[in-house]
Structure 1
């Protein structure tokens, strides 16, 4: 079984405004609602690809109920913990001449509610996959990823971590199965500006030396680089298409990587599926569908 964890789920309210003018009343040209959070996105895309998972995390208030209902409507199984205070956040994403975001803060999570999550994670079995994705709300300890991985390290669980800087660096000692920084985040970790593939590969291998098994570096329109635990390096370009939506593309790449690895058991296929699935989301208004992914795969070298 695959489990995803989203600590701070959200309703993403995406609006298009033809010409956004600050300080004035603006009318929307289009409005869409998505049930967001990086782990939830991974679960939805896996479902679209025909793979079941269970989405874990915290929800609160009327917005939390809407998130739970919305996730269920996609066909994804969830086992969210309902918090006794606050409300799940609403993120407003404005698309106009430029893209802007206003992200909500999220609810308070108490110690006993966090312990409830730990107990659910304790039920994960050998051979399962766990995806830890996204930022940590300020009501949780900053080392929550480390605590989870330390708690599970005696089990044979493949843990995928999609987080930034210290959140990612601090878990490497627990040997995550796969990590997915982008090229800019990779440079920030080492205080450098990466200028070419050779430099990206060099620093990806530095992350391996610190404990990561497989390092997937996403590079937006320039594709991705995968440095594997068996000493191989795979480089893949992005298929051609028009980018319509950047939200969820990285999460879709994670889902595609997992699906591709489970499909054939090879990292080469995992990377190919990851690229195709991330691109399928970027080229559409929503998250990748199986049909869109298959179409891109058929045109990839």
Structure 2
């Protein structure tokens, strides 16, 4: 059985509550019970992967302070992953999702990012080094405060040393660094594709040109509700996203797609089939509010639109 290691550099301690939205400078109490959960792209990917495989991935996290301990406790309680924690100084960022009781619209407030020291990152790499075996997957997910280019080299070196599949879904500086490396999979959105690879448009031709010059084996370019383009071991494919009944929340759809791609890869599915079912699962995820609670029956129904 292959091991999956998700890396989350930016944990989020998130509380969701419903309010009667007040005017400024007023105090208002939450209506009903508050919901606490842990976020961060790698956490979402771990949850979605567990839904599909019933196998707990290893979740590399960097908790800080009391809030970080609360996040760890929640992860252990939910039992969707095996946390591998490297403690850092500070206080894990908090998020408050405020739902308007009347309109049901949500407003989110996010706290400040906590920088991850190089020494903490090195500890995480050493933990993976001890546990990983040939063929395992590293999924580098989301933002990473205080990112250093040397971090990229360390992960790439680890992947080569242990013969691991390195899959990346990130942005900002980590994306710029990883895009130049020998990855198994890079998931990127249209805007990031254009800026990272200095292209004026996203077409099969521009993706082919990028793929021919890149060391990345598989590049998948998401495009919200538009056409998804991919270079799969040099083969260029494009897939239209299925039409969904009603979008409830697009947040986390990309995480569901990334987790599904990794799962299908571990199941030895063809890359093209892995892409299609992953698009269907992401679309099904958009019809609900929770990242990893989509219906597989609904996903397979949506798959018929793109098969």
Residue in 2 aligned with 1:6? 8
SS in 1 for 2:245: coil
**Distance in 1 between the 2:224 and 2:92 partners?**
29
Residue in 2 aligned with 1:45? 48
TM-score after normalising by structure 1:
0.85
**Paired residues of 1:58 and 1:82 also in contact (CA < 8 A):** yes
For 1:123-142, list aligned pairs within 5 A: 123=130, 124-138=132-146, 140-142=147-149
**Distance in 2 between the 1:73 and 1:207 partners?**
44
Residue in 1 aligned with 2:164? 157
Residue in 1 aligned with 2:217? 213
Gaps of 5+ in 1: none
SS in 2 for 1:3: strand
Give the deviation of 1:268 after TM superposition: 1.9
Residue in 2 aligned with 1:175? 182
SS in 1 for 2:183: coil
Assess, with a 3 A threshold, how the Cα gap between structure 1 residues 165 and 207 changes in structure 2: closer, same or farther. farther
Query: Which of the residues 244, 250, 255 maps onto 1:251?
Result: 255
Residue in 1 aligned with 2:244? 240
For 1:1-301, list aligned pairs within 5 A: 1-15=3-17, 25=27, 31-52=34-55, 53-83=57-87, 85-94=89-98, 100-123=107-130, 124-138=132-146, 140-191=147-198, 194=201, 199-208=202-211, 209-289=213-293, 292-301=295-304
Assess, with a 3 A threshold, how the Cα gap between structure 1 residues 45 and 32 changes in structure 2: closer, same or farther. same
Assess, with a 3 A threshold, how the Cα gap between structure 1 residues 47 and 162 changes in structure 2: closer, same or farther. same
SS in 2 for 1:174: coil
**Distance in 2 between the 1:18 and 1:253 partners?**
35
SS in 1 for 2:69: helix
SS in 1 for 2:16: strand
Give the deviation of 1:249 after TM superposition: 1.4
Instruction: Provide the aligned C-alpha RMSD in A.
Output: 2.7
Assess, with a 3 A threshold, how the Cα gap between structure 1 residues 238 and 8 changes in structure 2: closer, same or farther. same
Give the deviation of 1:42 after TM superposition: 0.5
**Larger deviation, residues 125-134 vs 159-168:** 159-168
**Paired residues of 1:6 and 1:133 also in contact (CA < 8 A):** yes
Aligned positions, number:
295
Gaps of 5+ in 2: none
**Paired residues of 1:133 and 1:163 also in contact (CA < 8 A):** yes
**Larger deviation, residues 77-86 vs 56-65:** 77-86
Give the deviation of 1:234 after TM superposition: 3.6
**Paired residues of 2:169 and 2:186 also in contact (CA < 8 A):** yes
**Paired residues of 1:12 and 1:34 also in contact (CA < 8 A):** yes
**Distance in 1 between the 2:17 and 2:205 partners?**
40
Which deviations, in whole Å up to 9, do the C-alpha atoms of 1:131-189 show, x marking residues without a partner? Answer: 00111113x42542333113432332111111125422322343211111111221222
